[in-house]
Amino acid sequence: MIAVDDLITLVRDYNPKTNEALIRAAYDYGRAMHEGQFRHSGEPYFTHPVAVAAILTEQRLDDATIITALLHDTIEDTKASYQTVEEKFGREVADLVDGVTKLTNLQLSSSETKQAENFRKLFMAMSKDLRVILVKLADRLHNMRTIKAMRPDKQAQKARETMDIFAPLAGRMGMQWMREELEDLAFRVLNPEARASIIRRFITLQKETGDVIERITNDMCHELDKAGITAEVFGRAKKPYSIWRKMQEKEMGFSRLSDIYGFRVVTQSENDCYAALGAIHQRWRAVPGRFKDYISQPKSNGYRSIHTTVSGRDGKRVEVQIRTRQMHDVAETGVAAHWSYRDGVRSENPFAVDPARWISSVTEQFDAEEDHTEFMEAVKLEMYADQVFCFTPKGDVIKLPRGATPIDFAYAIHTRIGHVCVGAKIDGMRVPLWTRIKNGQSVEVITAEGQTPQATWLDIATTGKARAAIRRALRELDRDRFIKLGRELARSAFEHVGKKATDKALEAAARTLRLKNAEEVRARLGSAELTAHQVLNAVYPDLVPDAGNEVARDLAVIGLEADQSFERARCCQPLPGERIVGITYRGRGVVIHAIDCETLSAYDDQPQRWLDLHWHNGTHPAVYAVTLDITIGNDAGVMGRICTLIGEQKANISDLTFVDRKPDFYRLLIDVELRDAEHLHGVLSALDAETDVAAIERYRDPSRSGAMQSHEP
C-alpha cells in the first residue's frame, strides 16, 4: 500500500501548494474507517482507495478530488456519514463523496429499463460535478486491474459493464488512455484466447521485422530535424482489443492488418504541427481518406490533433497524430484537464473544455427522450460516436457522429428544417437521404412545404436529436390517425345501441372518464387505451349489458398480494382459462405470461421472481385484447364480412393493421377484445369457416416481451 508521505509527494510534484495536512487527515480517517475490512484478494480494503487516489494524481487533479478518492467508500461501507465527512473535510468533499456513493449504488448492468433510468441518474450526478465520474472511473480502473481475485461470474459481469459503459464514457470524456486500458482489461476477461493470440502474433512479427517502432521513430525524428522542427516522437503498438475490434470490423486476419502501429508527434507550436505534417507527407505516402484536422475543427471534449495515416515502401501503414504540448495534455486527460494543476495553480490550458458546457452538450438531446430504450440508444450512440465535420452551403461547420446522414444534418440545423426535408445534395450532387456523410463534404437540404416526417427516417437517422424529433412528430401524426379511427369506432358502437356518437355525447363521456374533451376520448379510443364498452358505459350505463356478475378486472388473477397489480405480457397475451405464471418487476407490479410463452426462458435463472397464479373461475368481461393474424381474399365486401363475423361473436375490434397487401390477398393483424380462451376459440372457428379466409391464427411475438398498455378496465 502506498504510504501517506509517498502519496503527498505525488501530489506535491505538480501542486507544491497542496494542503498536506488535509490529505494526511483524510488518509488517516479513511484507514481508520476501513479497519478490519478486506478485499477479495485478502489485502486490507484501504489499499483500494489509496490506489484510486494515486491514479488521480497521474492526472494532476486538485486536493478535493484526491481526498474524495481516499474517502469514496466510507459513507457506503463504514459507519461514516455525510455529516461527519462535511464536518472534517468541508461541504465540497462531502458532496463529492456522496455523489460517488450514489454512482456506486447504481446497478448499471441491470435490465434495459432500469439501466436507462440509472443512466439518467449517472448523467445527473455528472452534471452537478464532473469530478464525481473522474473518481468513479479511477475506481473502476483499479478494480479491473485487480479483478482476478473475484469469482469468474462476477469478473464477466464487471468486464461487460466496463466494456459497455465505463470505457466508452472515458473515451467520450477525452481520456483515451483510460478507455484503452479499460477495454484491454475487460477484453482479457471476456475473450482471453483472442487477446493471447494477438499478443503471440505481435511477438512473432517483432522477431521477423525487428523493432519497427524504434526504426520509424528514428526516421521521423531525422525528417523533422532536417525540416528544422523541434518535436518529440513517441511510437507504440496498438492495444490488443483495438486490433481485435479492427479485425472484426474489417473481417480480416491479423496478417492483413496494416495500421497496427501509432505515433505521436508533440511540437512546440501550432504552426509546427502543420510543418511536421508536410515533412512527414514528403517522406511517406499519405493514405487517401485517412486525414483529419481536429486542430481547426476540435472535438466537443476539447481534443485537438492532426491525424494522418502514411504508407512506407514495404506497404506498412502507420497512424500519426500531431499536436502541441498543451493539446497533448488535453488529449491525455480530456475533460479532466479543467482541474489539472501545475506548479500549485490551476493549469490554464486554453484547449481544456468547460465541463459544464461539455456535460450540457451531452445531456441536452436526451432530455427530450421519454422512452427508456430510446434514451439508452441515444446515450450509447453519443458515447461511441466518432465525429465528421461537414459544411452548410454558407460555409458553417456542422459536427455529426460518423455514419450520419442528410436527415441528421437537417435536424442539426433546425427541427423545422428536418421535418420538411425531402432530399439533399452533397457537394452539389443529388443523393438519397440514407447516404453517409463524409468529412469535409458540403451538404444542402432540399425542403418542401407539406412534407412530414416518415417512419422510415428512424432507420436512416443516427443522432439522438434527429430520432427524438422524428418520434415526437410521428406521435402527433399518430394522434390524428387515432382520432379518425376513434371517431369510426365510436360511431359503430353507439349505432349498435341505437344512439349517435355526437360531440355532446362524447363530451359527457369525457367528464365521466375525467378526460379533457371529446377529442381526447376519440384519440384514446383509437389508440386502444379506452374500449368502446367503457365509452358507452360512461354515457348510457343502462343500455350496456349488465356486468354486475362479471369478475372485476383487478380481481381477475388469483395468487397476488393485496398491494400487487398485474399487467398482461404483450408477447403471449394470456387469456382467462389459460395456465399462467407471473414475473415480478420492482415498481411495475407483476407481468403475467402464458405458461408456454417462449420469453419465460429468460427468467430461468431468477426463480425468486416467479409467481404461481391462476385466473378467477367466474365470467370475465370482453376486455382482454388478443391479436389475430389473418389472410383474406382481396375481393369486394370481404373485409366487411370479417368485421361482421367478429361482431356476431360478441367481440370488439380495437385495432387493425395491414401487414402485407398483394393483388389477390391481404394479410392483416386484428386486435380483438375477448372474455377468455373459449371466446377466442369461437372467434377463430367462425373466421376459419369463412371461404374468403385463407389463413387465421393467434399472433404471438416473443420480441414484444413488455407489458401491454393498461387500457383494460
> Which residues are within 8 A (CB) of 421 and not within 5 positions of it... i.e. 6 or more apart?
406, 407, 410, 433, 445, 446, 447, 451
Backbone angles phi, psi at 331, to 5 degrees: -65, -30
Separation CA 11–CA 678 (nearest Å): 76
CB 72 within 8 A of CB 131: no
Residues linked to residue 407 through DSSP beta bridges, in sequence order = none
The CA–CA distances, whole Å, from 240 to 183, 193, 203, 386, 528 equal 9, 11, 12, 20, 53
Q: Which grid coordinates are listed for 353?
A: 473544455
Grid cell listed for 688: 376459419
**Can you tell me the distance from the alpha carbon of 107 to that of 158, in angstroms, rounded to the nearest whole number?**
11
Backbone angles phi, psi at 626, to 5 degrees: -135, 140
| Integer Cα distance of 135 and 96 in angstroms | 9
Interatomic CA distance for residues 8 and 347, integer angstroms: 19
End-to-end CA separation in angstroms for the chain: 63
Q: Strands, E, within 541-692: which ranges?
A: 557-558, 566-568, 580-585, 589-594, 610-615, 624-633, 652-661, 665-674
> Which residue among the candidates 43, 62, 73, 76 is catalytic per the annotation?
76
Residue 166 corresponds to which cell in the numbers above? 465505463
Report DSSP letters for 581-603, one per residue: EEEEETTTEEEEEETT-GGGGGG
Amino acid at position 114, single letter: K
Reported as type and span, the H/E element at residue 207 is helix 192-209
The residue annotated as part of the active site, out of 20, 77, 164, 223, is 77
In Å, what is the CA distance from 321 to each residue of 277, 280, 332? 9, 11, 13
Strand-strand pairing, 665-674 and 652-661:
antiparallel
Kindly report the CA angle at 604 between 603 and 608, in degrees rounded to 5? Answer: 75
Per-residue 3-state assignment (H helix, E strand, C coil) for 147-204: HHHCCHHHHHHHHHHHHHHHHHHHHHCCCHHHHHHHHHHHHHHHCHHHHHHHHHHHHH
SS3 350: coil
426 close to 410: Cβ distance less than 8 angstroms: no
Please name the residues in contact with 28: beta carbons below 8 A apart, sequence gap of 6 or more. 4
**669 contacts 699 by C-beta, under 8 angstroms:** yes
Identity of the amino acid at 297: Q
405, 460 in Cβ contact below 8 A? yes
User: What's the half-sphere exposure (Cβ side, CA atoms, 13 Å) at 103?
Assistant: 29
Residue pointed to by grid coordinates 518535436? 231
Q: State yes or no: is 77 an active-site residue.
A: yes
The values of phi and psi at residue 548, to 5°, are: -65, -35
**Cα gap 186→232, rounded to integer Å:** 31
User: Could you tell me which residues are beta bridge partners of residue 399?
Assistant: 389
| Helical segments of 109-151, H only | 112-128, 131-145
Active site residues: 76-77
